[in-house]
Amino acid sequence: LSAAELANLIAKKALSPVEVTEAYLERIDRLDSRLDSYITVCRREALEAARVAEEAVMRGDGLGPLHGVPLGVKDQFETKGILTTAGSTILGEYVPEEDATVVARARAAGAILLGKHNMTEFAAGLGDRFKYGEPKNPWDTTRGTGGSSTGSAIAIAASLCALALGEDTGGSIRMPASLAGIVGVRPSWGLLSRNGVIPICWSMDSAGPMTRTVEDAALLLGAIAGYDPKDPLTAQRSVPDYAHSL
């Protein structure tokens, strides 16, 4: 199911956020030892967030557009209380005190963080060995997927998360998305906050959605876009309803 379909079924009480999260965690356990798309899997935190999400559904609370939908993020994004390595052993013990803005906004929209995706060291170009296992293209495990957001592309292609956040400086969302057969969007610069994104080139870095469908990309982009006072170079303009425009 797409992320949009999952969110719709969860909102209708036809599907449990706990069941969905458990299904993704089981699939990660079964497949990711061969794919190396994750550096860190947040099993305990994800299941607790799923239980909270399910309680909100049962109470009839107002739900965000991504409520109960499992999300993975490139390990370049800082995550509160969760190891953030940027693909490097230099940051092998770095645990941030707050989420990157785009991660915080995805969580506020109801997404459940499953874990942190594998990447090239500090989002640099390919060539050096990956420090946390060599990511493999799920369509042909003798090949990779190119670009530093490779773990996010693999996780989406192999259904190891429903939504993913990547980062693109010179093609690092677009190349892996192409090679893994998924949707990747590098937004206009300034549409998404760079706060909490470990930089490679501050004037070019851009977060962006990596998803199975265009609709899913529109939903995620709409949830995380917009001005952020913690990043004064974000655009001060209203965020369109991207999904409505499809």
Question: Known catalytic residues?
Answer: 74, 148, 172
Report d(CA 172, CA 182) in Å as an integer.
Answer: 13
Report d(CA 104, CA 224) in Å as an integer.
Answer: 8
Distances (CA, A) of 174 to 60, 70, 82, 181: 38, 22, 26, 10
Q: How far apart are the first and last CA of the chain?
A: 19
Distances (CA, A) of 223 to 73, 103, 144, 165, 218: 15, 10, 30, 12, 9
Q: 204 and 189 in contact (C-beta within 8 Å)?
A: yes
